[in-house]
Structure 1
Amino acid sequence: MARSSKPSSRSSRSASTASSKPRWRRRLVLALQICLGLGAVAFIALATTVYLTMAQLPSYDQLKSSPNGQMIRVHAADGTVIVSLGPSYGDWLSYDRIPQVMRDAMVSVEDRRFRSHPGIDPIGLARAVELGIVNRGKGKRQQGASTITQQVARTIFLSNRVNWGRKAREAIIALALERKFSKDQILELYLNKVYFGGGAYGVDAASRKFFGHGADHLSLAEAAVIAGLVKAPSVYSPTADAEAAIGRAGVVIGLMRETGAITPEEAASANPKAVTLAPEPKQNSVRYFTDWALPQLEMLIDEPNRPLEVWTTLDLGMQRAADTAVRANAPNGAQGALVAIDRDGAVRAMVGGTDYVSSNYNRATTAVRQPGSSFKLFVYLAALEAGHKPDDSIVDEPVTIDGWSPRNDSRRNSGAVSLRTAFAFSLNTVAAKLGQEVGFATVADMAKRFGITTPVNTHPSMVLGTSDVRLIDMTRAFASVGNKGVAVTPYGITKVTAGGETIYSQTVDTSHVLVAPYVAAQMTDLLQTAVATGTGKAAQIGRPVAGKTGTTTSTKDGWFLGFSSGLTTGVWMGRDDAKPIPGLHGGTAPARAFHDFMAVAVAKRPVEQFDTKVTLPDWQVEPDEESYFGGPDNGVFVDPDGNPAGDGGVPQASDRGQRVDPDGNPIGDGTVAPDETPRPKPEKLDQSWIDRMTGRDSNPPSAGRPVTPRDRPGAAPTPLPDRNQPRANP
């Protein structure tokens, strides 16, 4: 019995072993079956998702037209494109128009297995995962594995945000694209859509930006430079870092040789260093205008996607003349600004500084500075509206208002004078008396009525221009006077189109009357006299001109604003740090810049006469210093807030004509140097000379018409003193 038990034991162990092996196998088979089942389900789900995505994909033509961002092209008044902003698109190049070297360069550097994979590259993906594991914790950037097809999917349908969800969607769209379109179509989409930096989308835009010609004429070296940009457009841009761009192009050529796209001989002959880059466009003064006008689109239209064509008021001929006039006349170390506004408010020229590249700060529309005596426009407008006439008599005498005692620049008072004379010779005491009579708040309201958008103080000294203003606002005010009292609102955009559809068109409102026409005509009368015989003589252009100068404390700012033939121009000059500029006065550099610009700007416009003729002021009055030499206005007797400075009326050394250094500090004891001769008194003028200078005289004296000066009947007119004559301090 005992023997018989042993075989039974072995049999039991054998049966147990035999039963355990099928169980292990069953488990393995079950696991494989589950994996295969899950794989099949995943494959079916993926296939279903891909085909559903493929069914939802736009047509090829729709993909070609889908924008990468909003492009804005800005046109001058004559239709010339003056600037393009936002994405830049070249011509769409079909596959057969894209050079073979460009296609091969892009495939070699971005996706060498493009022709063989189904939209995603398993080999590239595995290599990227491997490198990611090897470089983990070393601070190295993980290498991407996106195929060209995936980049097309991301460019058109997705964002650049990196996460697993976006990568999964990118892969599905790529697989769908491969099912719906051919490899050639996908490569065509890619080469016309991918971003190459500098706002350029597509190879044609990149070629035009960097080489100045279309992409259908790219050489091997040029194609290598462009292909190398995709990895990091800002790093390898040839205009930003030529050395880096050349090095990257060399890498591309090496890859092309490695993949067999080019022969070793072709690779050796390609020389990226010999590539000629297109010159960068110069940032000229046109950008001051576009920087001012384009932000207004947000209020004018609601179109965030479609490319826009913006048509503006800018006259390129006037803009060139304005740029030249400012640069030629701005004193050394000073800035200058100019705005020219047509009678309907169209801004024809705008210069915000002497050089946009070195400073894009727009001094025509943003800077605020004291306007000096040019602010007297509002004082006299208020007085005329209150019932005064240009020929009304007013006494030029010492006056004290709330402790402030303004003085004329000549340091003299002339007794009874007309308003015309007071304005032509910029008599400060008369302006103060008029301001007190009509009310300083009334003057401030008049300034606001005419478009001054900055705060205006109501201190008595405000009549001399102690409140900060903008050049474009002051120019607008003078334009409204020239427009017979009807409000002029500056605008720069006339029309906006998107896809050939006009989505905005400018309309001009002429219904807002600021002052009665007769008040505007009387003000024009005064402004004519200021140019013909007063402070603005340098602004004469041989046709009727009305305008006013302005000069501020210690010659920190110089202004001239005026109009002729329907065009109003304002000029400002000064330093950004508001330091004094020796010799800067409204009647010198700014008036000369006005002259230089207007002589060109209105040359082809008909001569327009004003409603009132130029009338001579009272010649028994001794003209003050500013009348002939553009001296500073009496703003020097107040602090920047308009409060009386010092004793409220004692002129400072520099205001009495004392010589000053570049910072405005007195030199020596302020006396006239021995070799400086006293300034001669100006000769008198007559009405006939005024008529000839303003284009009214059709029968000059040589033709037999008698000359009848008001002060010396029967005598011939005497010439003006040379405004360039050396000046001695009185």
Structure 2
Amino acid sequence: MSHGYDYGFHVISRLMSPRKPAPPAADLTLTPDDRLILSSSGSGHAHRDGGRSARPRGLWSGAVAVAVAPPAPSRVKGGGSGGKPPRPPRGGKAAGGGRRRSWGWRIIGWGVSLMIWGMIALAGVVGYYAYDLPSLDTLTATSRKPSITLLSADGQTIAAYGDVFGQPLTLAEMPKTLPEAVMATEDRHFYSHFGIDLIGTARAALADLRAGHVVQGGSTITQQLAKNLFLSPERNAKRKIQELLLALWLEHKFSKDQILTLYLNRVYLGNGSWGVDAASERYFGISARGLNLYQSALLAGLLKAPSRYNPQNDQEESLQRTTQVLANMVAFGAITPAQAQEALKTGPGTVKKISHTGRYFADWVRDQVEPYTRDGRDLVVRTTLDLALQRKVEAALDASLSGPGAKARVGQGAVVVLSPDGAVRAMAGGRDYATSQYNRATQSLRQPGSSFKAFLYLAAMESGLTPDSTIEDEPITEGKYRPGNYHEHDRYEGVITLRHALAKSSNVAAVRLIERIGPRREVEVARRLGITSDLRPDASLALGTSEVSLLELTSAYATFANNGYGVFPYGFGEIDDPRGQQIYLRQGGGTGRVIAPRDLQEMTDMLVAVVQTGTARAAVIDRPVAGKTGTTQDSRDAWFIGFSADYVAGVWMGNDDRTPMHRVTGGTLPAKLWHTVMLDAEQGLPARPLPGLSAQALPGEAAPAPAPGGGAPPPPATMDQLWKGIIHMFGG
């Protein structure tokens, strides 16, 4: 008997014990915020019932064993020396009673045996899953995405990415209605169960069985905390058993107040916010300390489905869910019906709207700063964005596309505004970020058309030609590549100056020019000014057939506004951690001088003529500006890139599916939108001459008028121009 009992105890103890030796004292490793929470919440074993009886320390120490040895069967021994055993006593009552007692003992024995083997099997299952639990030394280590907060140039928040934790708060620092709303909705028996609510679990299982799918959750707050802190989100039997075991361990290790405090500071409440304080700031712009009853109920309602009941996404769903939580609080006894009605009248106050202002820009910057989060640090990024200008740019783009753009079958557009040094001040990558996050300013590659001619004409200036050098504006009749001017009804003007050829955007003149200087020179100039996309070094490059991005092309034009110095577009100048410790500081940038002063002066002079007398007259504003239009075949793309002394702006319009627009050129809608954007950008700034030119007449004062017939005759050649022509003829 004693041997069988000892053996059973030994087997069950082995099964209930961990397969690896447990450390002498398995203490929970806490983060600094957790220590603050727990130190403010009382003793680790303080409960409402005044404490609990002592238990063995450690998660799985102290195996519990129950063993019952069944009684040995009794036998009636015979008497005498080998005689027959006496017959059983006769009589119905005595005989029947013996048989009933025999069967009764057998049933008891079988029941006890089944119970023992059931306990052994249960112990085996528990031991198996307990062995695979997370290490106790890393249970509270948070696994989250580092947060990235982007600030505008004046310090306003543009966007926040990653997971955000709020300030850790104790129960005493929270409004009483917040934990009550959570308990009324998630776990009404929180202070009375031992980590597992058997009644609630059975009720949820019955409801799920009737519905044929999961309709209720039976998890207690302790189980949810175990799941949120320690386990992966998948649903299976193994994870559920581990959740139960960890819940029991949490109940053993911490008091009820501490568990509730940890839960409220760590639970996910949508939009990347973890904990009630982060969620309160995200949705209401206040600390959780100042939540009213309605706001507390709203946050408690988010626990079931943070995205569905998010007040920023669907106010009607949020209202219905909050109303249900308030009803739960009334049933829980936390508030009266009158208080619930008053809360519904009060409402949530001001719910912060999800702002999409500057989101194309924010996504572009985020991709650049993400490498700085590899060590797990949160980032605060100070960007170059002018938030007021950004709002005006987005409004102007939407108005252009919704009004005249809709009539001209223009589906999309993009705008970029830079400072001359390359700092991005505004960026609209499309008409509606909520509808499409595809950034047409940075990700989309489109043919730039004639806006690419600026690099060709700069290469011509560097090769010895001048704005007054001449070229033929006549149909091309030789060779395989024979483009015409954009508008077939435009009459050809014969011999014209390069200045006039660029102003009227003559295609045949551009092709003749690239054949004269060679396409590789244009490629070299484009690369030097910052074009990185693939370029085909052939005659078609003169007409902008190689695809580029709007930001790429605009930053290349910024070189003219930056007095001939190379420009790298950039969106941020400083990165700090949340405590203000500097991680990155931009110092300088660019590639030095890439355009000689004389060539810069000549190119700026020609680009001014494009606006004053050429294809971009719709872009004229109240100060000197210069730029170039671009239009591709069948009006699939329309561009205008231009600059003043203070800003460089680029505009693109087209359709994502590359279908043609209706009679849209770079000099129409894009130039008009550029005009509007630049007026907003230049508001309050004095007019200044363009870099490279000492002074220019303001539009309308002394702008040269085209000669009758559409073009001025070429002036007499000077000796300097003749020498340049001779040098060019001999390959100089």
| Both proteins in one fold, TM over 0.5 | yes
* Alpha-carbon distance in structure 2 between the residues aligned to 1:470 and 1:618: 33
Query: Does residue 148 in structure 1 map to residue 221 in structure 2?
Result: yes
Residue type at the aligned position of 2:267: V
- The C-alpha deviation readout for 1:238-262, integer Å capped at 9, x for no partner, is 4555555444444434443333333
- Alpha-carbon distance in 1 for matches of 2:656, 2:103: 93
d(CA) in 2 for partners of 1:585 and 1:8?
123
| 1:295 maps onto 2:367 in alignment | yes
Q: Are the equivalent residues in 2 in contact too, given 1:283–1:356 (CA < 8 A)?
A: no
Pairing 1:635-650 to 2, within 5 Å after superposition: none
Contact 1:337–1:351 (8 Å) recurs in 2: yes
Give 2:626's aligned residue. 546
C-alpha RMSD of the superposition: 4.3
- In the other structure, the counterpart of 2:186 is 110
1:317 aligns with 2:388: yes
Is the CA contact 2:148–2:366 (under 8 Å) kept in the aligned structure 1?
Answer: no
Partner of 2:28: none
TM-score (norm 2): 0.71
Mark the CA change 1:435 to 1:318 in structure 2 (over 3 Å): closer, same or farther.
same
Q: How does 1:688-703 map to 2 (within 5 A)?
A: none
Q: Is 1:340 matched with 2:421?
A: no
User: 3-state DSSP class of the match of 1:301?
Assistant: helix
Q: Structure 1 pair 126/74, CA: closer, same or farther in 2 (3 Å)?
A: same
1:94-105 equivalent positions in 2, closer than 5 A: 94-105=170-181
Within the alignment, does 1:170 sit opposite 2:243 as a pair?
Answer: yes
- CA apart distance, 1:339: 0.9
2:552 maps to which residue? 473
Equivalent residue for 2:639, pick from 559, 562, 565: 559
Code of the aligned partner of 1:447 = A
Q: Give 1:139's aligned amino acid.
A: G
Q: Which amino acid in 1 is paired with 2:471?
A: I
| 1:349 and 2:422 correspond | no
Counterpart-to-counterpart distance in 2, 1:349 and 1:312:
11
Which residue of structure 2 aligns with residue 604 of structure 1?
A: 685
1:138-164 deviations in Å (ceiling 9; x for gaps): 622274332212211221222212233
2:484 match: 406
Q: 2:573 aligns with which of 494, 511, 527?
A: 494
What is the aligned partner in structure 1 of residue 38 from structure 2?
Answer: none
Q: Which runs of 5+ in 1 are unaligned?
A: 628-681, 685-730
- 3-state SS of paired residue (2:459): helix
Q: Larger deviation: 482-491 or 342-351?
A: 482-491
Q: How does 1:59-74 map to 2 (within 5 A)?
A: 66=142, 68-74=144-150
Instruction: Give the Cα–Cα distance (whole angstroms) in 2 for the partners of residues 596 and 122 of structure 1.
Output: 68
- Superposed CA deviations along residues 605-636 of structure 1, whole A, max 9, x for unmatched, are 77254324569999785564xx9xxxxxxxxx
**Is 1:362 the counterpart of 2:439 in the alignment?**
yes
Q: 1:234 aligns with which of 307, 310, 314?
A: 307
**CA displacement 1:544-590 (0-9 Å, x = unmatched):** 32322223445554322122225321122344455555564433433
**Please, which of 75, 87, 94 is the counterpart of residue 9 of structure 1?**
87
Quote the offset at 1:73 in angstroms: 1.4
SS of structure 2 residue aligned to 1:257: helix
- Counterpart contact for 2:635–2:661, Cα < 8 Å: yes
1:671 corresponds in structure 2 to none
Task: Write the distance in 2 (CA, Å) between the matches of 1:543 and 1:514.
Answer: 26
| Partner Cα distance (2:503, 2:423) in 1 | 29
Aligned to 1:570: 650
- Whichever residue aligns with residue 468 of structure 2, its letter is D
Corresponding residue number in structure 1 for 2:270: 197
Distance in 1 (CA, whole Å) between partners of 2:637 and 2:251 is 68
Equivalent residue letter for 1:101: T
- Are 2:543 and 1:464 equivalent residues in the alignment? yes
C-alpha offsets along residues 61-81 of structure 1, whole Å, 9 cap, x if unaligned?
xx6x94654332111122211
* Offset at residue 459 of structure 1 (A): 5.3
Indicate if the aligned counterparts of 1:285 and 1:355 stay in contact, CA closer than 8 A.
no
Could you list the per-position Cα deviations for residues 438-471 of structure 1 after superposition, in whole angstroms to 9, with x for gaps in the alignment?
Answer: 1234434543443444444455344233444322
Give, in whole Å, the separation in 2 of the partners of 1:36 and 1:582.
80
Aligned to 2:161: 85
Kindly, what percent of the aligned residue pairs are identical? 40
AA in 1 matched with 2:363: D
Q: Could you list the runs of 5+ residues in structure 2 that have no partner in the other structure?
A: 1-80, 714-732
Contact 1:222 1:272 in 2 (8 A): no
Distance between the aligned counterparts of 1:295 and 1:441, measured in 2?
33
Superposition map of 1:433-472 within 5 A: 433-458=512-537, 460-472=539-551
Distance change in 2, residues 1:57/1:117 (3 Å): farther
Q: Distance in 1 between matches of 2:200 and 2:138?
A: 26
Distance 1:77 1:31, change over 3 A: same
- TM-score normalized by the length of structure 1: 0.71
CA distance in 2, matches of 1:97, 1:412: 80
Tell me how far apart the structure 2 counterparts of residues 153 and 567 of structure 1 sit (CA, whole Å).
Answer: 55
Alpha-carbon displacement from aligned partner over 1:203-234 (angstroms, at most 9, x marks no partner): 34444555555443444444333323212333
> Does the 8 Å CA contact 1:549/1:561 hold for their aligned counterparts?
yes
Q: Give yes or no for contact 1:54–1:179 (8 Å, CA) kept in 2.
A: no
Q: What is the deviation of 1:200?
A: 3.4
Distance in 1 separating the partners of 2:136 and 2:239: 20
Cα distance in 1 for residues equivalent to 2:498 and 2:119: 103
Aligned to 2:510: 431
* Cα deviation code 1:107-141 (max 9, x no counterpart): 12211221122323344345555666x54xx6222
Q: Deviations over 1:376-421 (max 9, x none)?
A: 1122122122222223343444433424153486744445443223
Q: What CA distance in whole angstroms lies between the structure 2 residues aligned with 1:590 and 1:29?
A: 88
State the alpha-carbon separation in 2 of the partners of residues 408 and 139 from structure 1. 68
From 531, 534, 537, the equivalent of 2:614 is 534
Letter aligned with residue 643 of structure 2: F
CA shift, 1:317, in A, is 3.0
Matched with 1:655 is none
Q: 1:496 to 1:170 in 2, by over 3 A?
A: farther
Change in Cα spacing, 1:619 to 1:396, as seen in structure 2 (3 Å) is farther
Change (3 A) 1:344 1:12: farther
Shift of 1:601: 2.4
- Does the 8 Å CA contact 1:414/1:621 hold for their aligned counterparts? no
1:394 and 2:471 matched: yes
